Structure 1
Amino acid sequence: MSPTADVSARLAWPDDAAAMVRIQLASWRSSYAHLIPADELAALDPDELAERWAATITTPQDARLRVLVALERADVRGFALVHPSFDPDSDRVADGEVGEFVVDADHQREGHGSRLLQAAMDTLAADKFTRAVWWLNVDDDALRAFVTESGWAPDGAHRELGSATGATVKQVRLHTSLA
C-alpha cells in the first residue's frame, strides 16, 4: 500500500479563523500592495479579523453563506467563501458566488486549490444554486488559468473597484453551471 497525504476540505470551524487571517493577510501583502498602503495593512488587527471570520462562520448573514477550508492534517492551507451572488443582474435564488478564495502561497500547486474549489462547487450545488459566478482580477493570470481549466468562462461582465490609494482593480466575472 502506498502512503497517502492527509488532505481534505470541509466547512470552516471558528477555531480556523486565526489561520485563515494569517493566509489572507499574507495574500493581501503580496497581491494588493499597490492598492492598500503598507501602514494600513500593518495596522490591521489579526485578532479582530479572526473574530469577524469566526462570526461569519457561526452566524452568517444568510444561511447559504459558507466558509470552507482546505486542510493538510489539521493545518489550514486555504479557504473559500461562497454565498448568493449580490450582483444586480443575478438571480439570488439560482446564482451562487465564490466571494473569496485564497490558498497559502507556500502550499500552492499541492492540490489544495482543486479540493477547495470542488468543495465550494459541491456546497453551492447542495444549496440549490444552478450557476456560480466569480469575480477575478484581470491581471491574476495564474488564478484565471486555474479557474478556466476547471470549466469556468467569462460571461462578459467587467467592473472596476477603487482603492484608498486612488488605484483601481479591474475585474472580469466568470461563470460555470452547477447543474
Structure 2
Amino acid sequence: MADVGVRAARREDVAAVTGTQIRAWKFGYREFLPEGPLEQMTGPAAESMWQRQWDEAISFPPTPRHRVLVAVEQVLLDTDAFPALGPGGIEAVAAMAGAEKLAGLASHAPAEDPDLDLNTTGELLTFLIDPDYVRRGHGSRLLNATIDYLRDDGYRTVVTWVFADNYAVRGFLESAGWGVDGAERVLDMGRSVRMIRLATDIS
C-alpha cells in the first residue's frame, strides 16, 4: 500500500526534485530530442546547475505566486506481517515503510510571454513525473493542485510550453481540457525542435 498526495516542495527536496527532473527528461525526451543536447541537459555539470536553480526556486521564490509542488508516495507496510524478522528487522522494515518517495513535480508562476496579461494568466513551467511512478494518478493530482493554487491567486487562464513531439504530455493535457493557442517557438538543438503553447480556461 502507498499513501499519496501533493504538497509544497521543501528545501530538503532539492536533490530529489533535481533527480526526478533528470530521470523524467532522459526517459520522456529521448524519442524526439537530439542525443547530444539531451546529454548536456542531463549530465553531471547540468545536474549541479539544476540543483542550484531548484534550491533558489524552492527556498527563495521571486513572488508568492511562484510555487514548486511535489507529488509524493509513502509506503505503508504492516510490520505485524514480518514477525520472523526479529526486532531489528522489523525496525528496518518500519523505517523503509515510513520513507517518502518523490514521484513528480510541477512549478508555476505568472506568465511572462509579452502577448499575455500576467495579472490574469499563469504559466505551468514544469510538469514531470518520475518514470518509475507513471500511471499512478500523480499527474492528475499535481495538475489539479496547480490549478487550485492558480485559481486561488485570481488567474483565469493558464498556459504551458511543450515540445510539439511530446505526444504523451500533449495527450494528457489535452484530455484535461487544454488546447493549442497558436503560439510557437523553435529551438536550435543541432536541428530545429518545435515547441507549442497550450492554454486552458480555469475561470
TM-score (norm 1): 0.89
Aligned to 2:194: 170
Residue 138 of structure 1, CA deviation: 0.7
Q: Rate the CA distance shift 1:127–1:51 in 2: closer, same or farther, 3 A.
A: same
Q: Rate the CA distance shift 1:62–1:162 in 2: closer, same or farther, 3 A.
A: farther
SS in 1 for 2:51: helix
Residue 37 of structure 1, CA deviation: 5.5
Residue 155 of structure 1, CA deviation: 1.1
Aligned to 1:111: 137
Residue 167 of structure 1, CA deviation: 2.5
Aligned to 2:26: 29
1:65-104 aligned at under 5 Å gives the runs: 65-73=66-74, 74-104=100-130
Give the conservation status (yes or no) of the 8 Å contact 1:18–1:46: no
Instruction: Choose which of 3, 13, 18 in structure 2 pairs with 1:16.
Output: 13
Structure in which a larger fraction of residues adopt helix: 2
Compare 10-19 and 48-57 and name the one that shifted more: 48-57
Paired letter, 1:29: K
Give the conservation status (yes or no) of the 8 Å contact 1:14–1:58: yes
- Root-mean-square deviation (CA, aligned residues, Å) is 1.8
Paired letter, 2:42: L
SS in 2 for 1:129: coil
Unaligned runs of 5+ in 1: none
TM-score (norm 2): 0.79
- Structure number with larger C-alpha Rg: 2
Residue 21 of structure 1, CA deviation: 0.7
SS in 2 for 1:114: helix
Instruction: Choose which of 149, 153, 159 in structure 2 pairs with 1:133.
Output: 159
CA displacement, residues 90-124 of structure 1 (integer Å, 9 cap, x when unaligned): 00100000011110011111100010010111111
Aligned residues: 174
SS in 2 for 1:93: coil
Paired letter, 2:123: E
Give the conservation status (yes or no) of the 8 Å contact 1:65–1:83: yes
SS in 2 for 1:15: helix
CA displacement, residues 53-101 of structure 1 (integer Å, 9 cap, x when unaligned): 1221121122211000001112110001100111110001000000111
Paired letter, 1:64: R
Alpha-carbon distance between aligned partners in 1 of 2:167 and 2:66, rounded to the nearest angstrom: 27
Alpha-carbon distance between aligned partners in 2 of 1:39 and 1:5, rounded to the nearest angstrom: 35
Alpha-carbon distance between aligned partners in 1 of 2:122 and 2:112, rounded to the nearest angstrom: 9
Residue 48 of structure 1, CA deviation: 4.7
Give the conservation status (yes or no) of the 8 Å contact 1:19–1:76: yes
